[in-house]
């Protein structure tokens, strides 16, 4: 019975897949895989006509996939395949409406960005620097933390982009959006020290602020590796990555000022909803303080 039902439904799926000849092979494979999963579900539930499928059936199918471990992005892609297929059936007048049109995938749990606390940040940046590489690296870490820069923005900086006297740096961020952000005193001092150390290795045709021993612009990968090694030498065992300094900047700024709009401008976020994730981090900090300090919040000791 199941095989017979599946064969009835399979013809429309095959007809639809023929229309995808202009798509990449990977896309066609993905559509076939997604729709085969739908066919399995429908045949196992005795549904043999497309017209009998409504939004509730689609939701039940998505819920079934979710219970079986499908991630939110996978479910969203699955729904996209279904919408395209049902739109095809509507165009062919085999069904009256698209049952997947208004069905949404379950939201993926939002993972809060990890940030260093103030003490950890101080420990990270407290190293004594003497070598060429150490002077350079500390200048990068100080600048990233001082101004909330992405690693791609750090490696993209040119000498002309930073104004030490005025205490500001011009940054080209995502989407080639330019912003000018302040640079703190400690970071200015570190960059000044680096600019002096940089001169012997500089080349006339390399305008990058941060360069290697060979005088070439750094890659994001090399910066990531340097920071990881640096953090371990400073006794920080958690995995530290460049974006963590940006998260730390945003979190500490918000904890001190409470000015979400200002933090949005400093980070270069086009939408404040992106910045609002740091309010969750700030709340976590406040909750920990509350739990530790409020007499009614402390856990009762377990009975002996």
d(CA 173, CA 179): 8
Catalytic option among 33, 174, 196, 221: 174
111 counts as catalytic = no
246 counts as catalytic = yes
150 counts as catalytic = yes
Catalytic option among 136, 150, 247, 252: 150
Catalytic option among 70, 198, 247, 269: 269
Give me 47's structure tokens: 């549904």
Catalytic option among 70, 198, 246, 252: 246
145 counts as catalytic = no
**Residues with active-site annotation:** 150, 174, 243, 246, 269, 278
């Amino acid at each position: 019975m199941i095989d017979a039902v599946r064969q009835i439904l399979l013809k429309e799926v095959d007809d639809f897949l023929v229309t995808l000849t202009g798509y990449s092979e990977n896309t066609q494979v993905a559509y076939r895989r997604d729709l085969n999963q739908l066919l399995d579900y429908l045949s196992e539930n005795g549904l043999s006509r497309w017209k009998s499928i409504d939004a509730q059936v689609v939701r039940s199918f998505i819920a079934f996939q979710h219970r079986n471990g499908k991630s939110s992005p996978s479910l969203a892609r699955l729904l996209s395949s279904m919408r395209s297929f049902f739109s095809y059936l509507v165009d062919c007048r085999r069904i009256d409406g698209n049952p997947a049109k208004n069905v949404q995938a379950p939201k993926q749990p939002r993972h809060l960005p990890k940030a260093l606390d103030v003490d950890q940040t101080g420990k990270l940046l407290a190293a004594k620097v003497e070598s060429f590489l150490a002077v350079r690296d500390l200048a990068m870490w100080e600048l990233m933390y001082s101004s909330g820069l992405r690693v791609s923005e750090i490696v993209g900086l040119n000498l002309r982009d930073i104004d030490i006297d005025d205490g500001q740096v011009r940054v080209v961020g995502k989407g080639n959006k330019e912003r000018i952000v302040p640079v703190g005193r400690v970071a200015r001092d570190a960059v000044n020290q680096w600019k002096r150390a940089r001169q012997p290795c500089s080349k006339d045709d390399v305008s990058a602020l941060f360069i290697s021993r060979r005088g070439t612009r750094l890659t994001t990968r090399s910066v990531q590796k340097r920071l990881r090694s640096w953090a371990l030498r400073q006794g920080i065992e958690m995995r530290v990555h460049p974006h963590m300094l940006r998260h730390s900047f945003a979190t500490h700024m918000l904890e001190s000022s409470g000015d979400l709009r200002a933090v949005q401008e400093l980070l270069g976020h086009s939408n404040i909803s992106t910045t609002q994730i740091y309010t969750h981090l700030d709340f976590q900090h406040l909750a920990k303080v509350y739990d530790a300090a409020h007499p009614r919040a402390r856990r009762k000791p377990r009975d002996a």
